[in-house]
């Protein structure tokens, strides 16, 4: 194993009782109450060194396949981080000054030192935010830099970072070992070639760096890019996709390719969680309308809901964990999207319905032994009202960790306080880092483990848990639960056996619903299904 770049006095050791001469306070994010803090230290010490299971993230597979040195501090830590970029935008720092590329070819800042100076000049904006916590962890714990970042120290910190990034021990694969990342998942379009994953597998990394199947571009037929996505699907599968049945078969083929490449999960990020299925004839009709580009917005929403139901059906058959994270109005600013593209800070949460929206899926597959459905939200009001009660009764459903705008200290505390009464701990899926910022992964998991230690410490202090139970639960939350939520899919033979034993059988065909309840939903006419008064109707983002 390559030498770890983590500071030897702080990395992967129990929390000391006082802050080291250089670095961060060992009690950061632990309870302020001294009695609780002492218990939390003991709980956190039991999880701090556990391996990281990073099964929901967006680090590009090419980073690991090439294993090249990271270019510079700005390209690594500033420009691609939309958490950081959006805060700077809010105070008037333009995308151009941060080096975020433009689609129109107009120039942006390309001097990495200038970009870093701009960032450092606004460092005070991040006070109290998790972004500051993560970045301070990266500087101190990963790079061993004790200099406090600010306008006056920007160049000194930049130079130290740049020098260390040139060292072999800071290459991506070496950092996987240094960070104790047991498995990491990339997120890949359904039509991706997976060339980098084949390269990694050939070099012995295939079990550790795995793809995730992301079919969003194929499911949202209202998007302007959908025809190109269908053409890419046809090319990837070598099939003529001129019918609904061919479309479904092609998606199933791509899922099989991903599964063979080591995938353990699918990922679905749409504005609505609606999963109401259509009758087969209606699904075929709407697919033809999509091909002809005559489909209406309500029809497109209906077809998307049907396809999410189909994704659950497929997961019940092939064993890929289904991740659903709705409730975000993406590309909120059309002008920014036109100039910069997606993922530059302009995705905004919206209220979400889960009880009604997930009912068709859960009635059909909620008791299926081969389905694992992990549901995330950025609508905190849904945690205790809808999601915890659903995860607390349906064995196929798990509650995803606080996500995106909610993976903050306060957000994670509120999550535990609002869902545990109803769903317990075992019906949650453990922490996910959900990031493109590779070097922030250990910082994000560290913060989550500290927050969970504090929550469990309070239960111990209130005599609601014994200390040994709290430590065992903390280990579950940090490692055992995420590992169990994303298992390697079973073989075809074992999957068939599970399907046979299911109390609620999976559909017999690619479009037939799986239960009496789902069949009743599917038998409704398509015209009623897409009526504008439907409680499941979703506005389609024209961007």
What does the pLDDT average to over 156-163?
A: 98
Query: What mean pLDDT is reported for the chain?
Result: 89
What does the pLDDT average to over 519-532?
A: 37
**Res 521 pLDDT > 80:** no
**Res 509 pLDDT > 60:** no
Q: What are 117's two structure tokens?
A: 């100076």
Spatial separation of the C-alpha atoms in residues 475 and 453, rounded to whole Å: 10
Looking at per-residue pLDDT, the higher value among 510 and 38 belongs to 38
**Other beta carbons within 10 Å of 157:** 19
34-69+169-490: CATH architecture: Alpha-Beta Barrel (3.20)
Buried/exposed 348-364: b ≥16 CB within 10 Å, e otherwise = ebeebbbeebbbbbbbb
Lowest mean pLDDT among 310-324, 418-432, 519-533: 519-533
Lowest mean pLDDT among 360-364, 474-478, 509-513: 509-513
Provide the pLDDT for residue 344.
Answer: 86
How do residues 319-331 score in pLDDT, each as one tens digit? 999 999 999 999 9
**Res 135 pLDDT > 90:** yes
How do residues 444-485 score in pLDDT, each as one tens digit? 999 999 999 999 999 999 999 999 999 999 999 999 999 999
What does the pLDDT average to over 193-209?
A: 97
Looking at per-residue pLDDT, the higher value among 543 and 172 belongs to 172
Q: Which residues contact 352 (CB under 8 A, 6 or more apart)?
A: 272, 273, 326, 327, 377, 379, 382
DSSP three-state, residue 52: strand
Provide the pLDDT for residue 334.
Answer: 94
* Residue 22 pLDDT level (bands cut at 50, 70, 90): low
* Residue 295 pLDDT level (bands cut at 50, 70, 90): very high
Provide the pLDDT for residue 453.
Answer: 99
Provide the pLDDT for residue 343.
Answer: 82
Percent of the chain with pLDDT strictly greater than 70: 86
**Res 490 pLDDT > 90:** no
For the chain, the first-to-last Cα distance in angstroms comes to 47
What does the pLDDT average to over 157-162?
A: 98
Provide the pLDDT for residue 402.
Answer: 95
Which sign does the torsion angle of CA 132, 136, 138, 143 carry? positive
**Cα–Cα distances in angstroms (integers) from residue 319 to residues 183, 255, 261, 485, in the given order:** 18, 10, 14, 11
Provide the pLDDT for residue 495.
Answer: 47
**Cα–Cα nearest to 423, from 405, 452, 446, 400:** 400
Q: What DSSP element (H or E) covers 83? A: helix 82-90
Is the CATH code 1.10.2020.10 the one for domain 70-168? Answer: yes
Provide the pLDDT for residue 428.
Answer: 98
pTM: 0.88
* Residue 216 pLDDT level (bands cut at 50, 70, 90): very high
**Res 501 pLDDT > 60:** no
Match 């632990």 to its residue by tokens.
30
**Cα–Cα distances in angstroms (integers) from residue 172 to residues 53, 59, 178, 477, in the given order:** 16, 11, 10, 26
**Cα–Cα nearest to 225, from 236, 234, 216:** 216
What does the pLDDT average to over 514-519?
A: 36
Structural domain boundaries in the chain: 34-69+169-490, 70-168
């Amino acid at each position: 194993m390559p030498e770890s770049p983590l500071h030897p006095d702080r990395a992967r050791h129990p929390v000391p009782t006082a802050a080291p001469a250089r670095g961060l306070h060992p009690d950061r994010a632990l309870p302020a109450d001294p009695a609780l803090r002492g218990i939390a230290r003991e709980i956190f010490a039991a999880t701090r060194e556990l391996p990281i299971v990073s099964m929901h993230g967006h680090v590009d597979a090419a980073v690991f396949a090439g294993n090249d040195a990271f270019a510079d501090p700005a390209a690594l830590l500033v420009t691609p981080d939309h958490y950081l970029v959006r805060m700077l935008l809010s105070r008037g720092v333009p995308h151009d000054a941060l080096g975020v590329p433009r689609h129109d070819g107009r120039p942006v800042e390309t001097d990495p030192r200038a970009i870093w100076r701009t960032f450092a000049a606004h460092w005070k904006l991040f006070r109290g935010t998790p972004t500051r916590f993560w970045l301070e962890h990266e500087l101190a714990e990963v790079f061993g830099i004790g200099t406090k970042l600010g306008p006056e120290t920007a160049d000194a910190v930049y130079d130290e970072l740049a020098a260390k990034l040139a060292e072999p021990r800071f290459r991506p694969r070496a950092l996987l070992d240094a960070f104790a990342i047991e498995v990491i998942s990339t997120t890949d379009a359904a039509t991706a070639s997976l060339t980098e994953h084949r390269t990694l597998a050939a070099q012995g990394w295939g079990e550790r760096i795995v793809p995730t199947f992301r079919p969003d571009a194929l499911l949202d037929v209202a998007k302007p890019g959908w025809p190109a996505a269908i053409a890419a699907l046809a090319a990837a599968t070598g099939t003529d996709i001129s019918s609904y049945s061919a479309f479904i078969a092609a998606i199933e083929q791509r899922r099989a390719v991903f599964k063979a490449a080591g995938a353990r999960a699918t990922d679905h990020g749409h504005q609505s969680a609606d999963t109401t299925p259509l009758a087969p004839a209606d699904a075929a009709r709407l697919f033809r309308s999509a091909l002809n580009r005559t489909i209406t917005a309500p029809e497109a929403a209906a077809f998307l809901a049907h396809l999410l139901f189909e994704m659950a059906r497929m997961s019940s058959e092939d064993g890929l964990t289904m991740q659903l994270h709705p409730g975000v109005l993406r590309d909120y600013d059309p002008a920014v999207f036109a100039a910069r593209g997606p993922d530059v800070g302009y995705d905004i949460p919206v209220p979400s319905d889960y009880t009604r929206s997930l009912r068709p899926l859960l009635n059909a597959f909620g008791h299926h032994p081969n389905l694992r459905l992990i549901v995330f939200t950025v609508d905190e009001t849904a945690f205790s009202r809808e999601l915890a009660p659903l995860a607390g009764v349906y064995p196929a459903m798990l509650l995803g960790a606080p996500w995106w705008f909610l993976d903050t200290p306060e957000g994670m505390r509120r999550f535990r306080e609002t869902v545990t009464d109803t769903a317990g701990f075992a019906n949650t899926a453990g922490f996910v880092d959900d990031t493109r910022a590779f070097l922030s992964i250990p910082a994000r998991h560290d913060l989550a483990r500290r927050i969970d230690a504090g929550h469990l410490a309070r239960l111990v202090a209130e005599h609601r848990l014994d200390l040994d139970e709290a430590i065992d639960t903390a280990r579950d939350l940090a490692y055992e639960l995420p590992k169990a939520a994303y298992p390697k899919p079973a073989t075809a033979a074992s999957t068939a056996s599970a399907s046979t034993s299911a109390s609620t059988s999976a559909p017999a065909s690619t479009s037939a619903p799986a239960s009496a309840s789902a069949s009743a939903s599917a038998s409704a006419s398509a015209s009623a299904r897409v009526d504008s008064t439907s409680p499941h109707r979703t506005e389609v983002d024209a961007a």
